[in-house]
């Protein structure tokens, strides 16, 4: 009789957990309707956090116990974290990685992992995490963390299990993007080195004008052209104008102002007075640019055409 009662209670509990998990999945699915695949992970952690009542939900990429863990998608109810890296050692995530199985702690999280300072910083007291596998190896995890104690861990794990394949697919897509970016960075570095060699041979100086800061960065060849020592030069307009030959000053400044106001390409030839008194003629070419994550401005180059003009006479 007692066994029958226990079995009935277990079945009721299982039904209740399945029902809670189903409601969570329905809420998550509604939130993710029409979400593009590249945005699925970020959409999932936010939707899951709200559906589960979690204070933090994260999908993390783990490469080894020694390397920092990258939370490639994170929901933080407090709004403190958006891009997040953390050491694996001494964290509940390490437990998931080592055991290769879900890890649940309903209370006392900070006491159990005292070296994980982020738990205290975010006020987190309970944890539900599940490993994610690729080719039989744990390469990431999905976890929900709470300030409250004893969250509904079994329904949460059921939700994680239901979307496991899609989350793992998102991590693989992240890896592919990172590999592509690494390759592109290598190509850019190689191209920049070739450009530096070419510019060095040609004597062309390169400058970048930041319209927001109102200053120009010179490379070392620009400093050579103007006869000044290079120290990662940041040059203000008034400093640059001191080098311009007095007879060319009005035309140079007017041309420059029009280019900045119209945000159009410009080209001008003018004389400069180098430190030491030598007069040289430069040709300057600039192009307006807007690059994501940077202030608008101009990128251009100067070349000494003094000898070219002498030959043309």
Task: Note the pLDDT of residue 200.
Answer: 60
Distance CA 87, CA 69 (A): 6
Determine the pLDDT at residue 5: 47
DSSP assignment of 220-284: HHHHHHHT---SS-EE-HHHHHTTB-TTTHHHHHHHHHHHHHHT--EEEEEEEE-TTS-EEEEEE
Helix (H) or strand (E) holding 109: helix 109-112
Taking only the tens of pLDDT, the chain with its 313 residues reads 555 645 544 555 566 888 898 999 999 998 998 888 889 999 999 999 999 999 999 999 999 989 999 999 999 998 877 677 899 999 999 999 999 999 999 999 999 999 999 999 999 999 999 999 999 999 999 999 999 999 999 999 999 999 999 999 999 999 998 888 888 788 767 666 666 665 565 678 889 999 888 889 998 888 888 988 876 678 888 889 999 999 999 999 999 899 889 998 989 999 999 877 889 999 999 999 887 777 889 998 999 999 877 766 5
Res 168: pLDDT: 94
> Residue with structure tokens 């039989």?
136
For residue 38, the 8-state DSSP code is: G
Predicted pLDDT at 44: 95
Burial of 227 (0-12, 13-18, 19+ CB in 10 A): middle
CB 55 within 8 A of CB 124: yes
Domains, the chain, in order of start with CATH, read 2-175 (3.30.450.40), 196-312 (3.30.450.20)
């Amino acid at each position: 009789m007692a066994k029958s009662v226990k079995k009935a209670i277990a079945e009721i509990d299982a039904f209740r957990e399945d029902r809670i998990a189903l409601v969570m999945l329905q809420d998550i699915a509604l939130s993710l309707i029409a979400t593009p695949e590249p945005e699925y992970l970020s959409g999932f952690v936010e939707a899951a956090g709200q559906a589960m009542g979690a204070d933090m939900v994260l999908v993390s990429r783990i490469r080894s116990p020694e390397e920092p863990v990258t939370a490639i998608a994170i929901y933080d109810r407090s709004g403190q974290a958006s891009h997040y890296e953390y050491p694996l050692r001494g964290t509940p995530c390490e437990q998931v990685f080592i055991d290769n199985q879900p890890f649940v702690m309903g209370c006392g999280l900070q006491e159990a992992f005292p070296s994980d300072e982020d738990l205290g910083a975010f006020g987190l007291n309970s944890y539900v995490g599940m490993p994610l596998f690729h080719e039989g190896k744990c390469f990431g995890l999905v976890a929900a963390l709470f300030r409250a104690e004893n969250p509904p861990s079994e329904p949460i794990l059921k939700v994680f299990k239901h979307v496991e394949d899609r989350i793992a697919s998102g991590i693989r897509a992240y890896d592919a993007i990172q590999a592509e970016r690494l390759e592109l960075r290598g190509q850019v570095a190689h191209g920049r080195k070739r450009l530096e060699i070419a510019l060095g041979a040609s004597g062309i100086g390169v400058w970048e004008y930041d319209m927001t800061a109102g200053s120009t960065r010179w490379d070392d060849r620009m400093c050579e052209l103007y006869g000044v020592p290079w120290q990662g030069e940041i040059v203000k307009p008034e400093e640059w104008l001191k080098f311009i030959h007095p007879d060319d000053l009005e035309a140079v400044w007017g041309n420059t102002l029009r280019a900045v106001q119209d945000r159009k390409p410009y080209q001008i030839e003018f004389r400069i007075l180098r430190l030491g008194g030598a007069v040289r003629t430069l040709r300057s070419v600039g192009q307006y640019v807007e690059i994501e994550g940077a202030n608008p401005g101009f990128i251009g180059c100067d070349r000494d055409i003094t000898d070219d003009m002498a030959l043309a006479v």
